[in-house]
Amino acid sequence: MLLELKISKFAVIDHLHLNFKTGLNILRGETGSGKSVLLKSLALLMGDKASADTIRTGHSQAVVEGSFDLSHRSDIRERLLALGIEPEEDMLIVRRLISQGDKSRVYLNGNLSTLQSLRDIVAPLIEVTGHQAPLIEMTTQHENRHLLSKGYHMDLLDQHAHLWERRIQFESEYQNYADLKSQLDNLKANTKNSAQRLDYLTYQFEEISKLHLTAGEDLDLEIEVKKLKNASRLNQFVETAELALDSDDDSAINRLNAVLKKSLEVSSLDPRISEKVQSLEQAKVIIEDSLYDLRNYVEKIDSEPARLESLEARLSDFRKLQKKYGLGIDEILEAQTKMKFEIDSLLGAENQIESIQKEISKKELVLKKQATDLHSGRQKGAVSLSKKVNAELEDLNMKGVTFHIEIRPLAELTLHGLSDIEFMSQTSPKDPVRPLARFASGGELSRILLALKKVVGHSNQPRTYLFDEVDSGVSGTTAEKVGRKLKAIAQGQQVICVTHLPQVAAYGDCHFQIQKSQTKEGVSTEVKELSSKDRVLEIARLISGEKLTKTSLAHAEELITQAQDF
C-alpha cells in the first residue's frame, strides 16, 4: 500500500509530502483546490504518460515519488526480482522525473526502468496480465478501467466462487496444450510439401545407393579404364623388354651368362672372384622374375576385354552422378548422408505429428471436462454474487438498478476455460439488461465497484483503492452507508477517498485537507493532515458551510463518534 507521496514542481504543486495510513484516508478540498492534480500525480505512479505541460511554470523538471509497502505482497517482490530490482526492506519506491521536451524517466528503487515495467508492477491491466493484482486500483468518475474489463469480471467472480486455484491449474495445463498446438502448427508448416520432397529425396538416395560407391573408387576406376584401353601399348613394352633382357642375342641375360662363364674360368686363379660375381647371379634371377611377372600381368589385361566395357559403363554412371551432386565420390557420399538425414527427419516429423495430435486430443478431452466444471461453478457463483451485490446496491439506495452477470458458453477452449463473463446492469425492470461497460454512468460504476469490493472481501493481496467521489449524487442515510462500506473495505488494506460528504468523511482513519495558497511563484496547492480538532471543524463546514454553528459542530462530533463505534 502507498505510504508516502512526494511531489515537486508539478502543475500547481510546489512541494508536497504526504504520509498515508493503513485504513480509510479521506481527501477533502473545494472545487479548484487541486484535487485533480493530486489524482494525476497518483496516476503517474500507476504508469500514466507524463507531459512537459505539467511542469510548474518557471522550472525545468517535475518529480513525483511514491513509496509502497510490499511486506504483504510477495507477488510484487517476485516480479521486481525478475526485473533485477531488489525490494529493499520490503519497499518499492517509484520515482517519475518529468523534463522539458516531453522527456520522462522512470525509476524503480533507484533503477532506471521503463513505463511498461512500472505499469506491470503497480497497475497491470487485468485483461492483459491475468491475475497480477495491482498495487493501486483507481476508481474515478471518468476512469474505471478495471470494472470495464471482462477479464476483471472473471477475476472477481472466480475469487467469490472459490475457483481461483482450479483456474490457475487449468491455465497451466491449457498453456501446455497451447504450446503443443503451436508445435504442431510449426511442424505442419515445415512439412507442408514433405510428401513431394520425401519422394524426390528417396529417388536421389536410391540412385546413389544402387552404385554401391566406395571412397576413392573414382580414381581407381580412371586408372583401370586407362590401363585396359592401352593394353596393346603395354604388350609392346613387354615384348621390347623381353628382347632387351632375354630373347635377343645381345640381351642382358646372354651377356650376364657370358660373364658368369668367364668367371668360372678365372676362379681357379683367384677363388674370391666367385664371391664377387654372386650379385650378378642374383641380378640374373631378378631380371628373369621381373620378365615373368610382366608377361603374366599383360596377358591378364589382354584376356579381359569385357571388363573394360563394364568399367566404362560404371564410370559413365559415376559421371552422371558427378554432374548432379559433386566433383568426386567423397562429395557424392556426403550429399547422400545429408539426404538420409533429411529423409529421416521428414519421416520422423510425420510420426511426431501423429504422436502430438494424439496427445493434443487427450489433453483437449481433459481440459474440456475441467472447463465445463469451471463454467458450472461460475454459473452457481454468479447467482450468489449477483444476489449479494444487489443487496448492497439496495442498501446504497440505488433504487431500480439491478446487477446481473451474464455467462455465455464458448465453442472453443480459451486460457480461462469455456466461459465468456460480462457484468451487466438494468436501470429499471422495464429497461433491457445492458453491458455495464457501455451503459452504466460513472456514479453507478463507482457504487457497483464499492458493492463488489464489499461482497468479494479481502484477498491475500492487499492494495490501495482510490475512490474519487464514489459518493457523488447521494446524501443522508445512503452517504452514511457508503462511508461504512468504504471503512469495511479499508480493513487490513488501504482506501484513499475523495469526498464532499460529512457522513463519509467521518469514517476516515485520517483526514487530509487540500487547499490553494498564494506564494511568490503564484498559486500553489497544499495538503495537510488534520488534527482531531481541525477534523471536527472541517466536517462541521461540510454540514453547514463556512459559517460554523454550535449545531453543526455538535453534529460533526456525533458523526465522528458514531463512525468510531462502527
**In the predicted model, is pLDDT for residue 437 greater than 80?**
no
pLDDT at site 417? 95
For 281-329, the pLDDT digits (tens) are 888 888 888 888 887 877 766 556 676 677 777 777 777 777 777 677 7
| 549 secondary structure, DSSP code | -
**In the predicted model, is pLDDT for residue 175 greater than 90?**
yes
For 206-248, the pLDDT digits (tens) are 888 887 777 766 677 777 767 777 666 777 787 777 778 887 7
CA distances from 23 to 118, 299, 382, 463, 556 (A): 24, 114, 29, 11, 20
User: In terms of residues, how long is the chain?
Assistant: 566
**In the predicted model, is pLDDT for residue 153 greater than 80?**
yes
For 3-45, the pLDDT digits (tens) are 999 999 999 898 999 999 999 999 988 877 888 889 899 989 9
CB 262 within 8 A of CB 269: no
Contacts of 202 (CB under 8 A, 6+ apart): 343
C-alpha cell at 252: 642382358
C-alpha cell at 257: 651368362
Contacts of 436 (CB under 8 A, 6+ apart): 147, 148, 422, 423, 424, 425, 445, 448
For 360-400, the pLDDT digits (tens) are 999 999 999 999 999 999 999 999 999 999 998 888 878 78
- How far is 17 from 222, CA to CA, in rounded Å? 95
Contacts of 527 (CB under 8 A, 6+ apart): 16, 18, 27, 38, 512, 513, 514, 515
Q: How many CB atoms lie within 10 A of CB 303?
A: 10
CB 311 within 8 A of CB 228: yes
**In the predicted model, is pLDDT for residue 413 greater than 70?**
yes
Q: Quick one: CA dihedral 191, 197, 198, 204, positive or negative? A: negative
Percent of the chain with pLDDT over 70: 90
Encoded amino acid at 558, one letter: E
pLDDT at site 25? 95
Q: Which of 58, 1, 55 is CA-nearest to residue 24?
A: 1
Q: Is 420 helix (H, G, I), strand (E, B) or coil?
A: strand
DSSP string, 482-506: HHHHHHHHTTTSEEEEE---HHHHT
pTM: 0.64
pLDDT at site 128? 34
Q: Which of 481, 483, 506, 497 is CA-nearest to residue 556?
A: 506
For 66-100, the pLDDT digits (tens) are 999 999 888 899 889 999 999 888 999 999 999 98
Q: How confident is the model at residue 272 (pLDDT cuts 50, 70, 90)?
A: confident
- How far is 271 from 336, CA to CA, in rounded Å? 71
For 387-398, the pLDDT digits (tens) are 999 998 888 878
pLDDT at site 85? 92
Q: Which stretches does DSSP call E strand in 368-509?
A: 402-414, 417-426, 434-435, 464-468, 494-498
CA distances from 171 to 179, 251, 414, 476 (A): 12, 101, 9, 46
pLDDT at site 64? 96
Q: What is the mean pLDDT of residues 514-523?
A: 79
